[in-house]
Homo-oligomer: A and B are copies of this chain.
Amino acid sequence: MATTARARVRTEITNEIKAVARRRLADEGSAALSLRAVAREVGMVSSAVYRYFPSRDDLLTALIVDAYDAVGAAAEAADPGKRSGVPARWLAVTRAVRAWARANPQEYALIYGSPVPGYRAPEATIDPATRVSAALLAIVRDGVESGEITSDDSIAIPRTLRRDLAGIRALLADGVPDEVLARALFVWAEMFGAISLELFGHLHNVITDFDAHFETQMRRAGSVLTAQDPASS
């Protein structure tokens, strides 16, 4: 009753269209993603896709939302939880994000690469987009609470920036002081910088052991986050 046969089939086909679109994304990139090609591969006529997605952009939006949700879920699932401590959790979660990115490079590019030209992200993408950040900030929050992360460094933080940090704190980082939050943003950029440089080819001919490189970089990021003297980690 809740779901008629027709409704069940509808969500199945919707998912199939998205799955095919995701695969085509991997081949050709987001700008070249074409409704007609997807329809062809699904085995329906191109106009039939309009029963499921009102336009190409809506299909793209669905893929973006799914990608944010997938990487967010991967990050959440990888977190070993409070009692594992900040450095271990940080390593586990960043590893998971990178693993997802390597497994789904075009989806990673879709959400963290150059914006799709002419595409305006609708509100529906905002919430899923914060899942990874939320997972990382949960680690920071717990670390502050447990005393693993302390707040005694002194890179000056300008007043305008403190306002921005207060906004983040209110949403996702209750009790995390500005100095720590600034470090959290720092390692957040480090993680995406490291993954993007690797995936977008900038380590080519520079690094051969990508795993070891990422691992080393994230260990250092972890020690910046906890503000430990790296020598003691």
Q: Is residue A78 contacting chain B, with contact meaning CB distance below 8 A?
A: no
Secondary structure of the A contact surface, majority rule: helix
Given contacts A154-B230, A206-B168, A212-B161, contact A115 B201 (CB under 8 A): yes
Q: A163-197, CB under 8 A of B: which get 1 and which 0?
A: 11001100000000000001101101111111011
What residues on B are CB-neighbors of A161 within 8 Å? Answer: 207, 209, 212-213, 216
Query: Which of the segments A9-17, A27-35, A38-46, A139-147 contacts the partner chain?
Result: A27-35
What residues on B are CB-neighbors of A167 within 8 Å? Answer: 206
Q: Is residue A200 contacting chain B, with contact meaning CB distance below 8 A?
A: yes
Q: How far is the CB of A112 from chain B (nearest CB, A)?
A: 7
The 4 closest A-B pairs by CB, nearest first: A193-B193, A29-B117, A113-B114, A31-B31
A–B pairs, 18, beta carbons within 8 Å: A29-B31, A113-B114, A115-B200, A121-B201, A152-B231, A153-B230, A154-B230, A155-B219, A156-B219, A157-B216, A163-B209, A185-B217, A186-B220, A189-B193, A190-B193, A192-B193, A192-B196, A193-B194
